[in-house]
Amino acid sequence: MSKKKAISNEEIIAALLSSGTISEAAAKLNITPRSIYDRMCTRDFKAAYQAAKSDLIRGAVLKINQRLTDAIETVIELMTDKDVNPSTRLQAAQTILTNAAKFAERLQCDEAQVVANTEEFICF
């Protein structure tokens, strides 16, 4: 009689993050979806899974932010190049205007949060 190897939380989390469904993750690990559902009900697993998802998202955002300047410069080049189709130039200008407003709003929210956090810290 062979013993089944215990599947760690880390293995299940890795399978979940790289799969589209719980069934797919279970198949990768050669376990039942019920086994994953049961594990997902534990506090430790929930915390580890949430942390792993947050790390994954944080990494993606970091990559996007690293390329943001290049993207902005590309749009500016399209907008200012007289040889580019006028409708493309207009669309580039609209992209800059739309996103400038969003970035300004986000900056305002972030600055307000910093002020609130600072005030909270000082008051303690």
Domain that holds residue 88: 81-124
Q: Which phi and psi angles does 84 have, rounded to 5°? A: -80, 145
The torsion region of residue 19 among left (phi > 0), alpha (psi -120 to 50) and beta comes to: beta
Give CA–CA dist 67/73, Å, rounded: 10
Residue 121 has pLDDT above 90, yes or no: no
pLDDT, tens digit, 9 for 90 and up, residues 42-61: 999 999 999 999 999 889 88
Residue 35 identity (one-letter amino acid): S
Per the structure block, which two tokens stand in for 85? 């189709």
Whole-number average pLDDT of the chain = 87
Overall domain count for the chain: 2
Instruction: Note whether 63 and 90 are same-domain residues.
Output: no
Per the structure block, which two tokens stand in for 13? 């989390």
Instruction: Note whether 20 and 54 are same-domain residues.
Output: yes
The answer as to whether 76 is a domain residue is: no
Q: What is the pLDDT of residue 123?
A: 54
Question: How many Cβ atoms sit within 10 Å of the Cβ of residue 93?
Answer: 15
pLDDT, tens digit, 9 for 90 and up, residues 83-116: 999 999 999 999 988 888 887 888 788 777 777 7
